[in-house]
Amino acid sequence: MSSPDTPEVSATPVVLVGVDFGLPHFDGELEELGLLAQTAGLDPVARLTCKRKAPDAALFVGSGKADEIRMLAQMHGAKEVLFDQALSPAQQRNLERQLEMPVNDRTLLILEIFAQRARSHEGKLQVELAKLRYLSTRLVRRWSHLERQRGGIGTRGGPGETQIELDRRMINEAIKRTRERLDKVKRQRSTQRRQRERRDTFNISLVGYTNAGKSTLFNALVKARAYAADQLFATLDTTTRQLYLAEAGQSVSLSDTVGFIRDLPHGLVDAFQATLQEAVDADLLLHVVDAANPGFPEQIAQVQKVLAEIGASDVPQLLVFNKVDALAPEAQATQRQDTYELDGTPVPRIFVSARTGEGLAQLRAQLAATCISARTDGMTPGDTAELTGSDG
């Protein structure tokens, strides 16, 4: 609790808006957007959904629905409107004029959360690059006074250079500097990976939808203290530790990576390429799934989509259905099967609870078996017998 002398900082009240265009992943209750808003420190005070065949070119929702949103915001004292879909710069600007209050979209909200959560130098650089790219498309929104000129004596811009032109040039220069710094970090990471490869280390990366419990599982396996919380995007920075598998008689490299989410901004996928490279270069992906979330099939599909975007779709996967302690008994009975079909291909899966420890011994045994299989692949029968201690 805060002291009497410390003023309480109240969360900004916002109205959440979602438009159903008939796509299968539409969140009719706007639950995920609400969680994202709360994670960013906002207070959802009202929600509104509507159906359209296509976005309105000017206002995304049309003028009648925009007026309804404005009245709803006024009724609940909202200071901002938040859309579940990405808005174009022109739609955002027009909506702000119509609603007479700030309007933001899901893309900016995710960027803001990433900016709040990034801890490492690399993570901060990645978020900075993504925000700069986003901002570069929004200059038309920031500067309505395009007729204002800068130029002449003592200014960097030449005679007649408009404010928006100057800003665009400055942002492009900032993007270039940030990319150069990120490239340096990427080279350092490549050096570290090559060192691991020279040591013949088996590399495992944890991937999955945000809040599936990756960091909790990571901590349970390697007894680490990576930040883990029941919230979206608790982890942004990759953490790598050694995991000793007694059954295989060797240590493996285990990496905890950033979580994925529906409609993850492309700018973030590009910017986090250096971090996501851990997944691309892995020998095995532990795809962690929130088994207690009824929407887990859609979340699995979204993770597969991002893995394909970063070039990791061919890396072998083991599906880890986490949070089984939160499953009802009847749900456990229907779900507990040894495989799950990904794009028509059966993929092995295992059920665990990172919180209670249920299933972790089986997971370790499965990982050890995978390592032994990878180590013996291509060996002669004599080599295999020597490795396993068999007399043949």
Please state the residue numbers annotated as binding site. Answer: 208-215, 233-237, 256-259, 322-325, 353-355
Question: Residue 204 corresponds to which tokens in the numbers above?
Answer: 């495992």
Are 132 and 268 contacting, i.e. CB atoms less than 8 angstroms apart? no
Buried b (16+ CB within 10 A) or exposed e, 42-81: bebbbbbeeeeeebeebbbbeeebbeebbebbeeeebebb
261, exposed or middle or buried, with CB in 10 Å at 0-12, 13-18, 19+? buried
Binding residues for Mg(2+): 215, 235
Cross-sheet strand order for the sheet of 250-256: 239-245, 250-256, 202-208, 284-290, 317-322, 345-351, 339-342
Position 337: which residue type?
Q
Q: How far is CA 255 from CA 123, 178, 237, 386, in A?
A: 15, 25, 10, 30
Binding-site residues from annotation for GTP: 208-215, 233-237, 256-259, 322-325, 353-355
